[in-house]
A and B are shown apart, each in its own frame.
Chain A
Amino acid sequence: MREYSEPLYWQIRRMVESHDDASDVLQNTFLKAWQNIENFRGEAKLSTWLYKIALNESITFLARERKRLNRSLDDEESHLVNLIEADEWIDGDELALKLRKAVASLPEKQRMVFNMKYYDDMKYEQMSEILGTSVGALKASYHLAVKKIEKMLGEVN
Chain B
Amino acid sequence: MKLYLKIWRQKDASSPGKIVDYTLDGVEGDMSFLEMLDILNEELVSKGEEPVEFDHDCREGICGTCSLQINGEPHGPDRLVTTCQLHMRKFKDGDTIVIEPFRAKAFPVIKDLIVDRSAFDRIQQAGGYISVNTSGNTIDANTIPINKHDADEAMDAATCIGCGACVAACKNASAMLFTSAKVSQFALLPQGRIEATERVQNMVRQMDLEGFGNCTNTGACEVECPKGISLTNIARMNREYLSAISKG
A pairs with B: no
B→A interface (CB under 8 Å): none
A→B interface (CB under 8 Å): none
